[in-house]
Amino acid sequence: MEKARRQAAKKPGGGRATKKRANDTTPAQGVAPLPLEETSSPAAGASLPPAGTSFPGTETSLPHGGTSFPSEGRTFPRDGSTRPRLGFHAPIAGGLQSALLKARALGAETVQIFSRNPRGWQARPLEAAEVETFKRVRRECGIDPVVIHANYLINLAAADEAIRGKSIASFREEVERGLTLGADYLVVHPGSARGACEADALRTCAESLKAACDGLELRDFRILLENTAGQGECIGHRFEHLREIAGQCPGLNLGVCLDTAHAFTAGYDIRDEDGLAAALDSLDANAGLANVRAVHFNDSKAAYNSRVDRHWHLGLGHIGAEALARVASHPRLAHAAFLLETPQDELGDDARNLAVLRSFLAGDRGPEGDARA
């Protein structure tokens, strides 16, 4: 049985839903009808570059047991700590700076936000005063890094030219807003292959990324490709997809955001030590662990290899407390920012999930439960 699970982790395929967070300014990737939160199964004949192809900017992988890595741009943690920085996706109601203040109130060190309404093509321009306020509050709070999640409508892999054009324009705006705010990372899903084969969708995503960033000076600002769950027709549920996209964008400073719930339901069985090691080895071979700058740290309400995206409270889903504690304390991920995207159904959910994450790092297993209950 264990051998079969290890093989499943090495090659996704073969094989236990969350309510959206109460505040709809928080990612809830499996909730209909958002079109870009669905991902696809592998298309036959999809062409991928040979294993070992690395992301631009980093040719070396994070050594086993290491806690630092060579890379371009800013690195985290900055205080020499051997544990990850912890945070969550915070709402921006009341102004962008309110997310920073909530993060500080809960003792978080990093935060993820939307920089605008995530459910519309049009965004209100940033005003100079709010940008200055955001930067000032960030300095006062000591939040590092600041991660922006791209809006829900963007589909960089769209076969439909009208949708692709809107997506390129909207993603460029996301990049510009991130640069203006002085954010560190911008997380984006590769998109949906709807109407095209997988190989074409991968190429379209890469071309769209290049078009959106054409002429922009990204400097230390880094775009992070997020792995997906494998629901519907989206790409990104295999780590090879991330390698293929990055390989076609040699001029962009790309990185990876690893979502634990997505990886699990896409077929990477991280529930035991061998399965986690196999999944990290695969991610290292395809993207380089040095490039994993953020981890969306979520349990899953959906079963292993179900290709369903349903985040759940830590320790109460199908990944479970023991497995998540192993991920949280793994030295190969200690350089990344760990960000909760767990449900916020009740007041205090963020604080409770952060407490569980801290308990994992302290050596406790935290709560246990059954997502089917």
Give catalytic residue positions.
119, 149, 152, 189, 226, 259, 262, 296, 309, 311, 341
Q: What is the CA radius of gyration of the chain?
A: 19
CA distance 236 to 149: 16
CA distance 216 to 205: 18
Mode of pairing for the β-strands spanning 185-188 and 222-226:
parallel
CA distance 89 to 99: 8
Provide the terminal-to-terminal Cα distance of the chain, rounded to the nearest Å.
25
User: How long is the chain?
Assistant: 373
For residues 298 and 309, the answer to whether their CB atoms sit within 8 Å is: no
Q: How many CB atoms lie within 10 A of CB 364?
A: 12
C-alpha pair distances (Å), 250 with each of 30, 157, 223: 31, 18, 13
DSSP 183-238: -SEEEE---B-TTS-HHHHHHHHHHHHHHHHTT---TT-EEEEEP----TTBS-SS
Residue type, 207: E
Cα of 363 vs its chain's centroid, Å = 25
Give the residue among 218, 248, 222 at the shortest CA–CA distance from 235: 248
